[in-house]
Every structure is written in C-alpha cells, then in structure tokens.
C-alpha cells in the first residue's frame, strides 16, 4: 500500500519540475503543430476526437496517407501529455498548505488551457482548417507558455505584491513590449494564414497579400527591438541584478535569431524547415520575454511562503 503522506511530499518536491515541464511541453506542441502544417497533415485525422470514423487511432485509408495520419495523431498525443503535466501542476498546488492563490490560478491555467486547446483543435478539424481557427489555435500556445514561466517564478517567491528589482521604468516598458509581442504573434499568424503552408492543399487561404502582411509583421518586430533597446538602457542606468541581465541578453539573442530566420524564409520562398524554426523562435521569444518580465520583479518572502517551502522540500 502506498504511503499517502510520502506520495504527497513527493508530488510537492516535484512541483518545480512540473512547472518547467509545462514550459517545455507548451513550446514543443507549437513546434509539432508547425510540422503538421508544413507537411500537409492537418486533416490527416478527419474527425475529432476520433482520428478516423470509428477509430481513435490512425487506420489504413484509401485516400489518407498513414504518415500524415500519424503526424496529426502525434500532435494530439502530445496534447494529452500536456494535460497530464497540467494536472500534476494543479494537484501539487492543491496539496500545498497553505494554499497559495497565485500558484493555484496559474496551475489551473495549465490544466484549463489543455481543454481550451482541445476544443479549438476540434473546431479547427471540423471546419476544415479555416485559417482563423488555426490562428487562434496557435496563439493559445504562447499564452500558456507565458503562464508556465510565471508559475516557475511563483514557486520561488511569495504572493506579496510585486516590486521592481530594476529601474522603476523597466516594468512599464515591459508592459508595452508585451503588448507589441501580442501584435507580433497575431501578425505572424496572419502571414501564415495567407501563406503557402495551410496544413492541407485544399484549404482556402486568407485573401490578403503576403508581402503586405509580412511588412506589418516586420514593423511589430522593429518596435519590439526598439523597446528592448530601451529596456537595456534602463538596466544600464541601474540597478540591475545579474540574473535580470542574463535574461535580458537571452531575449536579445533569441529575438535577433528569430528576425534573421524570418527574413531568410521570406526571401527564400518560405521553406518548410524555416517555418518550423520560426515557430520555435516565436515560442522562445515568448518564454524569454516572460522570464525577463517575471525576474525584473520580486515578491518579498512571507511567513506563509516560508512554511510552504519547508513543507515542499521535506523528505518523505
């Protein structure tokens, strides 16, 4: 018989690991979603939640390639893994004493986001991969990745009101930068909606010039870079702890790499490999921005937080 107390303590000890796994998993499913699109596997499974009529898993079909079926089905399986991770995040938050409202809400977002994505995935398949359903389905992943980063940070701080660890203007600029990031991601989904990678050859595309949408997308990137430079100047003015500088330079690196990939794919005809890398880059930019946001603030420790930490790290 399993010792319930020992199991509970083990779950709490792994809480931080569950949160990190949530970050990795939400980034990964955006990548597999991109693979589904560029390989034309979006309708490899023609039904939801079944893959094919009467079958939950891929089966031989005269009109559907098995490779396309498994690519789409693999993406669905990863969604199930994310659901398990989200469930573990919430279970650990619920078992913690005292309950921490912020951790509970962020953990609930990890679990609830999976159900939202499942519904959106079903709508996307049943509507035949309409471009705007695919766009909404994509945008949810960076939102969940952002929440996962906040969950990671929240497990190492209290629930007290946040206060800046840097120049007082940095949090305000980061708010503006986050708004621009949202616009950047949405513009990116519009470019995808009008571009050649629809997920299936028969899917109707967004009837707008790709070049125009790409320039709008680039304008958001330039604005993001300008705000990032301003953040760097404010950090230079100080104070700026080393861990904040570290996350700033990580963000600078991934943004520059992402911009380079974007320009190369635009001028080389949007090759499939670069599309997948660009989606990966978009998720890394989101995670890095969230990390800079979270670590530029601090929540002073409280007695309750200290008690929680002692219980979470107790050995069975």
Helix axes 303-312, 4-13, angle to 10 degrees: 110
The owner of tokens 């899917």 is 203
Distance in angstroms (rounded) separating the CA atoms of residues 84 and 70:
21
pLDDT digit string (tens) for 32-48? Answer: 999 998 888 888 888 88
Distance in angstroms (rounded) separating the CA atoms of residues 37 and 31:
10
Mean pLDDT, the chain cut into blocks of 10 residues (316 residues total)? 72 90 96 90 86 90 86 92 94 88 93 92 87 90 96 89 90 96 94 78 80 93 97 91 95 96 89 92 97 91 46 39
pLDDT digit string (tens) for 187-216? Answer: 999 998 887 876 666 777 788 888 899 999
Residue 300 CB coordination number (10 Å) = 11
Distance in angstroms (rounded) separating the CA atoms of residues 176 and 231:
11
SS3 for 163? strand
pLDDT digit string (tens) for 141-152? Answer: 999 999 999 999
Mean pLDDT of all residues belonging to the chain: 88
Half-sphere exposure of 161 (CA within 13 A, CB side): 1
The whole-angstrom distance between residue 93's C-alpha and the CA centroid of its chain comes to 20
pLDDT digit string (tens) for 12-21? Answer: 889 999 999 9
**Phi, psi at 169, each rounded to 5°:** -85, -15
How do beta strands 297-298 and 163-164 pair? antiparallel
SS3 for 231? helix
Distance in angstroms (rounded) separating the CA atoms of residues 273 and 38:
8
E-strand ranges in the chain read 163-164, 297-298
Distance in angstroms (rounded) separating the CA atoms of residues 221 and 203:
28
Distance in angstroms (rounded) separating the CA atoms of residues 278 and 263:
10
| DSSP assignment of 32-91 | HHHHHHHTT-TTSS-SSSSSBTTBSS---BTTB-HHHHHHHHHHHHHHHHHHHHHHHHHH
């Amino acid at each position: 018989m399993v010792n319930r107390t020992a199991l509970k303590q083990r779950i709490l000890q792994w809480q931080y690991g569950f949160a990190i796994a949530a970050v990795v998993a939400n980034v990964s499913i955006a990548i597999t979603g991109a693979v589904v699109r560029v390989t034309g596997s979006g309708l490899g499974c023609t039904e939801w939640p079944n893959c094919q009529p009467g079958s939950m898993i891929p089966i031989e079909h005269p009109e559907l390639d098995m490779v396309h079926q498994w690519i789409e089905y693999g993406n669905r399986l990863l969604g199930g893994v994310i659901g398990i991770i989200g469930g573990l995040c919430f279970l650990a938050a619920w078992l913690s004493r005292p309950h921490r409202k912020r951790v509970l809400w962020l953990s609930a977002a990890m679990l609830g986001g999976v159900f939202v994505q499942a519904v959106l995935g079903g709508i996307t398949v049943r509507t035949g991969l309409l471009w705007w359903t695919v766009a909404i389905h994509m945008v949810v992943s960076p939102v969940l990745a952002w929440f996962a980063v906040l969950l990671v940070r929240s497990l190492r701080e209290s629930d007290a009101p946040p206060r800046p660890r840097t120049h007082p203007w940095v949090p305000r600029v980061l708010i503006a930068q986050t708004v621009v990031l949202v616009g950047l991601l949405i513009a990116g989904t519009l470019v995808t909606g009008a571009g050649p990678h629809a997920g299936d050859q028969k899917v109707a595309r967004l009837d707008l010039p790709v070049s125009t949408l790409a320039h709008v997308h680039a304008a958001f990137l330039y604005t993001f870079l300008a705000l990032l430079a301003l953040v760097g100047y404010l950090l230079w003015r100080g104070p700026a702890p080393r861990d904040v500088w570290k996350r700033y330079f990580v963000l600078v690196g991934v943004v520059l790499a992402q911009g380079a990939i974007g320009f190369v794919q635009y001028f080389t005809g949007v090759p499939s490999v670069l599309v997948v890398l660009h989606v990966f880059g978009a998720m890394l930019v989101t995670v890095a921005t969230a990390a800079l946001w979270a670590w530029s603030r601090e929540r002073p420790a409280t007695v309750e937080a200290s008690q929680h930490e002692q219980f979470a790290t107790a050995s069975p």
